[in-house]
């Protein structure tokens, strides 16, 4: 672009040339990741990413490597091949504290020899994150009270945590992972002990945290119906990634048998399952080309 100013032509640089757009890294990025244990491969050739602010639900059979995948993303396990990045950095203990990263392990009851109340059990999630600072301690206490009110356990805040039902103990574990306001939350089969009311409370809690800040969530579960209302995208994992698609393309037939029925995008834009891939789909009608007109010349 050139502006005429008097007799001189002044070149004007565009705004995109002066301030180039920097592409922000994805929340989670796996590049050809494989994890091997002694004698057998657990994960093979995983290559996908998760956008910031999305909720990804990963379903699949038992023993398909879903828990190993979350441990690899969190940095508890090192991949045998490939690269794992969280917001452009390699996952480790220091990164988990700086971001921070929340992790909900599979259900395990609170031991009765630890006399922690419900309030103290949720506040334990802030240990090791600078909670000794006065302003940080006040913020964590406020977040603990807010989370207890969201999961309807504020009347039981002084009750020992091990005396509650398994469903309520699982709600406490989810709130404990959210007390530090993480940017990334990893939930390993966290919906197993929850009933319909508990799953609705978790859905409301995750939607509320996403509205406050860009929370990215990865949930693994063997039952897709449990996490479908809260997910933006869904994927199927059985030692390798079989498919990943938007939640609107996931049908009840796919959730019943996700390893054999999954959406396949064709060139015409239709979706069908793997078993129906051999059938012919109706093709989009082609518009006939306009008639050719003879060339005309004028003097």
pLDDT of residue 282: 46
Q: In what helix (H) or strand (E) does residue 272 lie, and over which residues does it extend?
A: strand 271-272
What three-state secondary structure class fits 71?
helix
pLDDT, one tens digit per residue, over 174-200 is 999 999 999 999 999 988 889 989 999
Q: How far is Cα 244 from Cα 236, in angstroms, rounded to an integer?
A: 7
Q: Pick 171 or 7 by higher pLDDT.
A: 171
Residues in a beta bridge with 41? 36
State the CB neighbour count (10 A cutoff) for residue 167.
16
Fold of 24-262: Rossmann fold (3.40.50)
For the chain, what percent of residues have pLDDT higher than 70?
Answer: 76
Residue 88 clears pLDDT 80, i.e. is over it: yes
pLDDT of residue 289: 61
Kindly report the backbone phi and psi dihedral angles of residue 70, in degrees, each rounded to the nearest multiple of 5, phi listed first: -65, -40
Region for residue 250 given its phi and psi (left: phi exceeds 0; alpha: psi -120 to 50; beta: otherwise): beta
Residue 10 clears pLDDT 50, i.e. is over it: no
What average pLDDT does the chain have? 80
Q: Pick 52 or 135 by higher pLDDT.
A: 52
Question: How many residues are given for the chain?
Answer: 299
Q: Which of 140, 198, 142 is nearest to 166 (CA)?
A: 198
Residue 266 clears pLDDT 50, i.e. is over it: no
Lowest mean pLDDT among 23-27, 62-66, 195-199, 206-210: 23-27
Under the banding of pLDDT at 50, 70 and 90, the label for residue 13 is very low
Residue 135 clears pLDDT 80, i.e. is over it: no
Residue 298 clears pLDDT 70, i.e. is over it: no
Under the banding of pLDDT at 50, 70 and 90, the label for residue 225 is confident
Q: How far is Cα 206 from Cα 190, in angstroms, rounded to an integer?
A: 13
Residue 3 clears pLDDT 60, i.e. is over it: no
| Domain coordinates in residue numbering, the chain | 24-262
Under the banding of pLDDT at 50, 70 and 90, the label for residue 14 is very low
Q: Are 198 and 167 in contact (CB under 8 A)?
A: yes
Q: How far is Cα 227 from Cα 115, in angstroms, rounded to an integer?
A: 32
The pTM assigned to this predicted structure is 0.77
């Amino acid at each position: 672009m050139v502006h005429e100013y008097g007799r001189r032509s002044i070149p004007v640089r565009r705004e995109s040339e002066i301030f180039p757009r920097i592409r922000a890294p994805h929340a989670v990025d796996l590049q050809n990741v494989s994890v091997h244990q002694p004698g057998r491969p657990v994960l093979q050739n995983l290559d996908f990413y998760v956008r910031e602010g999305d909720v990804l639900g990963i379903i699949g059979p038992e023993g398909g490597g879903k828990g190993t995948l979350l441990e690899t993303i969190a940095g508890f396990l090192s991949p045998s091949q490939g690269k794992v990045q969280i917001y452009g950095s390699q996952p480790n203990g220091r990164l988990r504290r700086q971001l921070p990263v929340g992790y909900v392990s599979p259900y395990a009851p609170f031991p009765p020899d630890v006399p922690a109340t419900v309030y103290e059990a949720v506040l334990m999630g802030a240990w090791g994150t600078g909670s000794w600072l006065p302003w940080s301690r006040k913020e964590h206490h406020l977040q603990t009270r807010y989370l207890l009110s969201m999961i309807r356990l504020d009347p039981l805040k002084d009750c020992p945590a091990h005396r509650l039902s398994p469903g309520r103990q699982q709600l406490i574990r989810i709130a404990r992972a959210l007390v530090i306001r993480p940017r990334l939350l990893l939930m390993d089969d966290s919906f197993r002990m929850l009933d319909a009311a508990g799953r609705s409370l978790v859905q409301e809690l995750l939607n509320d945290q996403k509205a406050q800040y860009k929370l990215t969530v990865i949930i693994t579960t063997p039952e897709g119906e449990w996490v479908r209302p809260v997910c933006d995208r869904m994927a199927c994992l059985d030692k390798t990634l079989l498919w990943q698609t938007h939640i609107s393309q996931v049908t009840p037939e796919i959730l019943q048998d996700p390893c054999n029925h999954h959406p396949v995008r064709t060139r015409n834009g239709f979706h069908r399952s793997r078993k129906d891939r051999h059938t012919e789909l109706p093709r989009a009608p082609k518009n006939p080309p306009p008639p050719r007109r003879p060339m005309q010349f004028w003097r």
